[in-house]
Structures are given as structure tokens and as C-alpha cells.
């Protein structure tokens, strides 16, 4: 058995979905389980609609479609409101699905958005519920299309296959022991190809949860571990894991094989290919993860496993994580005082603020987080401990490699290359026996820093 996860770009439209069908058909002898994301753009459109409803900015909420009201604020990052119902209907028509295939879902979504609009409140629980419609609709469209085109398939909501989670909305995880229920549920399935929702789950109370944005990777890895799969395949729109973000670096190269720890570092520090938590269940079960390109299925992609071959290169890849906020706390009360940092992290922990980088001296501590709202809310309490500065729009830039600490002068070369690009480094983290060197730079400097480092580390002769 293999688990094959297809992302939003892989199931974006009829052309891409036909590619997926052909790829899965070619793997039928390996008993595939398909995990699907929502069609590209649908989840963003659902979230935008939910936020618009909470602000009273939807004038029409019915199964025929959604419309923003006159004078509505910008409803998405792109400044354009996309009707998720209209977009889904277009995809159904492209695929030749029955026009009423998802009418029950459209009606359910509209009822939910009306409720949000009436109370003018969008809780984490309600947001998960709204966000779940993308995957729930996509698997039914895919299963219908596959079946009508010679590949008998059946859609499944993952909670019907044992995936019952905790109550941590937006970041849920399956409950301990769920694997046995999952194996029992799969044993009862018929011979039709299972097409399973990624990203979503349900708690014991029956409330829909999600595992976090781009979390279908994690669903696939968890299912792979529970079912003892031979391999978990993550199908994307790139040739596996690359030496840098190909949208920034034209010369970015495929990495044929890498270790779990390298891939985990890259995912955590912003690699766009894998969800940060994806590799944990695969590592625990020692199941290889293979990253492949839906648009070039013949490409070997990247295989990630515990015993990958040694990488002779100076570095494996460059990743970045933008949108960071940095706090600098200065006080002489830190000097020689045991437990001072514990007070700092207790304040952040109470607000669920996840810290990425930390740098300390005897009289100051600097730390970064992607949780802008959380760190802003924590500032009044932090200011009771000392003088604080808060800066936004920063990026963690990470160079990952198997043997960085054993390469004399590599740290100086990396920092020198960044300096030559005219980029200021505000913080550095480089631990003993670490496989990554991380730097904090301004968001505006990402392109220059990544391009220069890639040229130095991967393209120089």
C-alpha cells in the first residue's frame, strides 16, 4: 500500500485532475490511498467569505453564490473576492460531474455563513467548520470523475476512517490510539479506490477540526504510519525538494535524497514543499516520504528517509520564513539572576506564542515569532520586566546542511556572502553540532540574500 497526497495545485482544474487520475491509475497495483487537498484557491476563498460574513460584508448568502456588499473592505490578500461556491461549480462543470453533486454542501455552507453573519463572530471552531468544505467537496468531485473515467473510486471523510482529534481548533491532532480504529475502518472498505479528505478531522463531540493550513501532507503521513504504508508520496508542482525556492532562484536544483532531519529543518524554516509536522509520523514509523511533481510524473523527485545517502555538498538547501516579529528586551535585572528567562517564556507560553529564534546576553534577550497578534498582546507584561522594542516584517533565513559544524569557515563564508549582498543580519543562531545556520533579516531583503547564497553555495565552480 502507498499513500498518495495531491495538493491544491494538483487538483486545481480538469487538466490537472486528469493528470492525477492517470498517475493513480498507473499505481493501482500498489493499492494506493489518495489524500486530497481542496482545489487551488478554494480554502482561501472560504476563509475570505467567513471573515466577510463576520463583518456583515456579504449581501447574498445562498447556494447560487456569495457576493460582497457595496463598500466592503478588501476581502482577501489579493484584494479580489472569490466566490467559493461559484468556483466549485465551475470545476464540477469542467469535470462533467452532476450539477447537483454538491448541492447539500452548498446549502450547509450557506447556513453556516448566515449564522456567522448574524452573530458577527468567527470563532476558531466556526473557522475550522467553514474551512473544511474545500476538502469535503474536492474528494467527492474527484471520486465521481475517477469513477466515470474507468477508475472506480469512493470519497471518504477522514473522520469516518478513525481520524478523531483533540479539541485544538486550527491545530488539531488525532487522539492517542486512533491508529487501531483507522486500520479497522480500512479493513471494511470495498475495492473502490479510497479518496480521503486531508486537512480536516472531528473531535469526540462531533465538531469539525483542522490540523492547520497546508495540513493535508500531515494527514497523509499519519495515515501512512497508521496503515504501515510502503511509502508516502507528496505530489506537488515542483520537482521534489529544491536547493532554494524556485520562484526566487531560477537555478534552483532538485535534491534527489535527503535525511528526515534535514527535511524537517527545511519544512520548519519555511520550505514551501512540506508541512512542518509531516515528517514526524513518517520518522516514527520509518516510512520513506517521496516528493514528486504532478506535472512531470516521470521525474524522480526527492526521497526522504532516515538512512539517506551522505550529501557531499557544502549545504543541502536554503529556506526562509517571512513575516516574523522580533522583541528585544533589555534590563540589568537579568545579570546573574536565575529564572529570568523562565519569566519571559511563561508570559509567552500563557498566550500560546511560539518562539522561533532566541539570542541572549547578560543584560538582553531577543526572540522572534510569527505570531504578531500574540506577541503584541504580550508586550505590556514583557515591559514590566525591562525596556522592550518590538519590530515586524523580519525573515528567518536558514542554510541547512548535514555537516555545517564540521566545515571550517563555512559560517564566515555564509555571513560574508549575505554582507556582500548588502543585507544586514540582526540575529544569528548556530548551535553546537547543528545542521542549520539561521539569520534574521528584513523581509525586503529576501530575494537578494537567497539569490546570493544560492550562487555561492550551489552554483560556484
Beta strands in 237-308 (DSSP E): 257-259, 289-293, 302-305
236 is known to lie in a ligand binding site: yes
State the cell numbers at 217: 501532507
CA distance 3 to 292: 13
Residues 26-53, buried b or exposed e (16+ Cβ, 10 A)? Answer: eeeeeebbbbbbbbbbbbbbbbbbbbbb
376 is known to lie in a ligand binding site: no
Asked if 293 contacts 236 with a C-beta cutoff of 8 angstroms, the reply is yes
State the pairing for strand pair 355-360/436-442.
unpaired
CB atoms within 10 A of CB 104: 11
Return the SS3 of 255.
Answer: coil
Q: Indicate the angle between helix axes 103-119 and 42-54, nearest 10 degrees.
A: 30
State the cell numbers at 123: 470563532
For residue 145, give the nearest of 15, 4, 292, 258 by alpha carbon.
Answer: 15
CA distance 216 to 200: 8
Which parts are annotated binding residues for ATP? 236-237
Which parts are annotated binding residues for substrate? 135
Which parts are annotated binding residues? 135, 236-237
Amino acid at each position: 500500500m502507498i499513500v498518495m497526497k495531491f495538493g491544491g495545485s494538483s487538483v486545481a482544474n480538469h487538466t490537472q485532475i486528469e493528470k492525477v487520475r492517470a498517475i493513480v491509475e498507473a499505481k493501482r497495483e500498489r493499492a494506493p490511498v489518495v489524500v486530497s487537498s481542496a482545489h487551488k484557491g478554494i480554502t482561501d476563498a472560504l476563509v475570505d467569505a467567513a471573515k466577510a460574513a463576520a463583518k456583515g460584508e456579504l449581501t447574498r448568502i445562498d447556494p447560487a453564490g456569495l457576493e460582497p456588499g457595496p463598500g466592503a473592505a478588501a476581502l482577501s490578500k489579493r484584494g479580489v473576492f472569490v466566490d467559493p461556491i461559484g468556483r466549485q461549480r465551475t470545476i464540477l462543470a469542467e469535470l462533467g460531474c452532476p450539477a447537483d453533486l454538491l448541492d447539500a454542501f452548498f446549502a450547509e455552507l450557506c447556513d453556516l455563513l448566515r449564522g456567522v453573519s448574524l452573530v458577527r463572530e468567527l470563532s476558531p471552531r466556526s473557522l475550522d467548520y467553514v474551512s473544511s468544505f474545500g476538502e469535503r467537496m474536492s474528494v467527492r468531485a474527484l471520486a465521481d470523475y475517477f469513477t466515470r473515467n474507468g477508475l472506480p473510486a469512493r470519497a471518504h471523510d477522514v473522520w469516518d476512517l478513525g481520524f478523531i482529534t483533540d479539541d485544538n481548533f486550527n491545530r488539531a491532532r488525532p487522539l492517542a490510539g486512533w491508529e487501531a480504529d483507522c486500520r479497522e475502518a480500512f479493513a471494511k472498505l470495498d475495492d473502490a479506490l479510497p479518496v480521503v479528505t486531508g486537512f480536516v478531522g472531528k473531535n469526540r463531540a462531533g465538531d469539525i477540526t483542522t490540523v492547520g493550513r497546508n495540513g493535508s501532507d500531515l494527514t497523509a503521513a499519519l495515515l501512512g504510519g497508521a496503515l504501515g504504508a510502503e511509502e508516502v508520496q507528496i505530489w506537488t508542482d515542483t520537482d521534489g525538494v529544491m536547493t532554494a525556492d524556485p520562484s526566487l532562484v531560477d537555478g534552483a536544483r532538485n535534491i534527489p535524497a535527503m535525511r528526515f532531519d534535514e527535511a524537517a529543518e527545511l519544512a520548519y524554516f519555511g520550505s514551501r514543499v512540506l508541512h512542518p509536522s509531516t515528517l514526524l509520523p513518517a520518522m516514527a514509523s520509518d516510512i520513506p516520504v517521496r516528493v514528486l511533481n504532478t506535472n512531470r510524473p516521470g521525474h524522480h523527485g526527492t526521497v526522504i528517509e532516515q538512512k539517506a545517502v551522505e550529501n557531499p555538498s557544502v549545504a543541502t538547501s536554503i529556506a526562509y520564513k517571512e513575516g516574523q516579529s522580533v522583541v528585544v528586551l533589555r534590563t540589568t535585572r537579568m545579570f546573574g539572576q536565575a529564572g529570568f528567562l523562565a519569566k519571559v517564556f511563561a508570559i509567552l507560553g500563557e498566550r500560546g506564542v511560539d518562539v522561533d529564534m532566541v539570542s541572549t546576553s547578560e543584560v538582553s534577550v531577543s526572540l522572534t515569532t510569527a505570531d504578531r497578534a500574540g506577541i503584541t498582546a504580550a508586550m505590556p507584561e514583557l515591559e514590566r520586566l525591562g525596556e522592550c522594542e518590538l519590530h515586524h516584517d523580519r525573515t528567518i533565513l536558514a542554510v541547512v546542511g548535514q555537516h555545517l559544524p564540521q566545515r571550517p569557515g563555512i559560517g564566515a563564508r555564509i555571513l560574508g556572502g549575505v554582507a556582500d549582498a548588502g543585507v544586514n543580519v540582526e540575529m544569528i543562531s548556530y548551535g553546537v553540532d547543528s545542521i542549520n545556520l539561521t539569520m534574521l533579516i528584513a523581509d525586503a531583503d529576501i530575494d537578494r540574500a537567497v539569490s546570493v547564497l544560492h550562487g555561492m553555495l550551489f552554483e560556484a565552480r
